[in-house]
Amino acid sequence: MGKKTSKRKPQTKKSGAKAESSSRGVRVLRYLRGLFALLLFFGIVLVFGSIYMRSLVIERMQKRALTSNSSVMSKAFPIERGMHIGKSKLLERMTRLGYAESREQPELPGQYLFNDSELIIYLKDLNIPPKVTQDASLVTISLHSDFTIADIRDLRFQRPLDAVWLEPELLALLGNSSTRAVTPKQLEDFPDNLIQAVISIEDERYFSHFGIDPWAIARAAVANIRSGKIVQGGSTITQQLAKNLLLDSERTFVRKATEAISAILLETAFSKEQILELYLNEVFLGQEGRVALHGFGEASRSFFGKDVSSLTIAEAATLAGIIKAPSSYSPRNHPRRAKKRRDVVLAKLLEKELISNEERDKASNSPIETRAATRSRRRAPYFVDYVTRRFQSLPTQKSIQTGVTRIHTSLDTEYQRCAENAVKTTLSDLEKRYKRLKKNSIQAALVAVTPSNGEIKAWVGGRDFQKNQFDRVSSAKRQPGSVFKPFVFLTALDKDLNTYRVARTSSVLVDEPMSIPVPGSATWRPQNYDRKFRGDVTVRQALAKSLNVPTIDLAMKVGIENVARTAEIFGFGKDLPKVPSLALGAGEVSPLELAQAYATIVNGGRRIDLSAIRSISQGTQSELVYTAPLEEEQIVSEAAVFVLTDMLRSVIESGTGAGVRRRGFTLPAAGKTGTSNDARDSWFVGFTPRHLAVAWVGYDSSKPLGLTGAQAAAPLWTEYMKCAAPMEAELDFVPPVGVSYRKIDLASGLLDDGNCPAESVVTEIYVEGSEPVTPCPLHSSRKRFRDSQGDIDPTTDSGQAPRRNPITQFFDRLFGR
């Protein structure tokens, strides 16, 4: 049997075509499946990538916020009815805060219109916890001819207002050399001229590409190859944002590829408008000292002192031109280069028909005018250092040491300018008048407070912070000299501070040579400053003329221990020496401690602790995390303190502080001069009903200055108060319940019975219950004498009062009859 062989049928053309078509279909299907899988993969990558990118960008922005804008702020500036403020000062402040002048009635927050008798201002939103909150509103401020504020009115509701507020000013940024300054804005806050300038010069196809621009990359590559170096970049706005937010500045292929991928993911995670807003807030636009300027909101304030919404075409083009090279095109440091770059931007805007020829020419011909750098320079540096130390010592500091921290202080920049100018002017005048002072660096300190709430308004700790950072307000302990004397007299005036009867302003003290044994040392024989003795003087005269001998005698009789206890009550501490010389200021105190003590006097014996930090907030919503406690305690008699205040007014009217009036300060005021041993320290402490300032002049080395408080410190105080006091409504001292007035004879210190000569009669103040009841025996027609108990004794034939026991005589002279 033979093998069967099979024969294959030959394929026809039709069947071969069908098989080939089927094979091609399989390949296409496989390709489509692969393509679908690839697209699905990339789709998944894009979805998860965009989600991740969004969360990453938000996280980075939050971290940037945590290291940005932590700052020390001044007090918001109140504008109140009755306040006197110069037009130039108010305009300067509004300019610093970014307010722009309008030719018509303001329509946007941050605009104002000023004429001779009226200021119309569109105030900005304000939220300074815990108390200052203000909605953006249009108000009109009516002014008298001397620029005293007559009326404040809300124009929308036509209602009167007691006060409005201007925003606080930056005193210092907290942080290191990488401190970032940012003023976040929403996209609608940026003007069209700025947005057009940025897009035209940086990424003209921004709204049409997907994160990268192939045409721009190709164009840049050709230009760079032709020049043989990098002259153009092809990065889009999205790529720049990705680099700024997510990547480092290293120039490598891998970093550039990562930047491109990140840009694509950004475009999937955010809209074009969101990316543009992020970019306008994030882009680096220069360095101001140690502070990096990020975003056009911050750059606008830094370079032009205005809100970004108020930028002109020329200013917008200038800022847009900075992006390419912030250091090279800085309008502050390189105005010529900045102008050339600005003109390039303007030409691009003209090419895109976004501005007219007239607008281009006007902008091109306008000069570049920038304001002085302020971000890197701390204002009130001695005060800022003190605030920083206080902040670090707060019990809650550990919980608020991270985040966008705002330390809201009590310092007022207008008062601070007054203080700084007063120190500069006074020291210069002293060196011109006393040539010997130029041989060594004379120093000064001045601190000013509002006693009623404890706010520290101004603080100058020395002549020049750049040369010497030692703060003489809080850290320098010096002998107070005669500025301590009021606490001796208060001890005698307040029955609760001594074990004797209450002294009177008209009580007679002895000013005559005295000797005081000092254990282990030679006998002390105190002298008055002029080495003269005046015999009998009243309590008021002794304080007004700052007489040493009567003050020591008074202190010893009421008790040095009692004087020391009074000083402790007023905050001088427990370490003051309990010796007779304490009455003349033998201990050591700082200007800040003196301010605290005298503030209690101004407050009528109520102690309110002085405070530099009023509150601390965190985050963009200004969440309150700390508020300074406002506690008060009545520590001495209000009536006795007011009598003392009235005596201190005599210091300025007719005593050692009379130079205050001669130098032109006319408002109601009280004060005390002080000069330490060998004229090493010159002091003046003075106050109005609303404002207190302590001034010190001397050498850090304690070398004798050779000038009294009246010669050096009082002129400094006067120079400051002439500037600062008119900013507050004028008030006079108002007597409290518990004081009374009597007409007395100056010669005897006793009651005028109608027979005393008019030139010898004055009205004197007393604590109720301590008033003299004895008529003056020197001019009475009856020639009768009334003792301190009210008994009437006939005089002798000679007209003289009967002789009295020496101990009784002393108390009669000290506390009056």
Q: Report, as residue numbers or ranges, the catalytic residues.
A: 202, 482
Give the integer Cα–Cα distance in Å for 654 and 656.
7
Q: Which two tokens stand for residue 556?
A: 């010893």
Query: Could you tell me how many residues make up the chain?
Result: 817
Ramachandran bin of 63, using left for φ above 0, alpha for ψ from -120 to 50, beta for the remaining angles: alpha
Positive/negative CA dihedral, 27, 33, 34, 35:
positive
103 CB burial (10 A radius; 0-12, 13-18, 19+): exposed
Give the integer Cα–Cα distance in Å for 48 and 269.
10
> If you search the block for the tokens 């509004």, which residue do you land on?
94
Give the integer Cα–Cα distance in Å for 482 and 548.
8
461 SS3 class: coil
653 CB burial (10 A radius; 0-12, 13-18, 19+): middle
Q: Which two tokens stand for residue 205?
A: 């196809």
Give the integer Cα–Cα distance in Å for 385 and 172.
10
* Residue 643 backbone phi and psi in degrees, to 5: -60, -40
Residue 696 contacts residue 725 (beta carbons within 8 Å): no
Give the integer Cα–Cα distance in Å for 59 and 62.
5
The Cα-based distances of 243 to 9, 229, 702 in angstroms read: 69, 22, 58
Task: Name the DSSP class of 574.
Answer: S
Helix, strand, coil percentages in the chain from 3-state DSSP, rounded to 5: 40, 20, 40
Closest CA to 106 of 152, 151, 140: 140
Positive/negative CA dihedral, 751, 755, 756, 761:
positive
Residue type, 389: R
Closest CA to 191 of 341, 297, 349, 339: 297
Cis peptide before 130 (omega within 30 of 0): yes
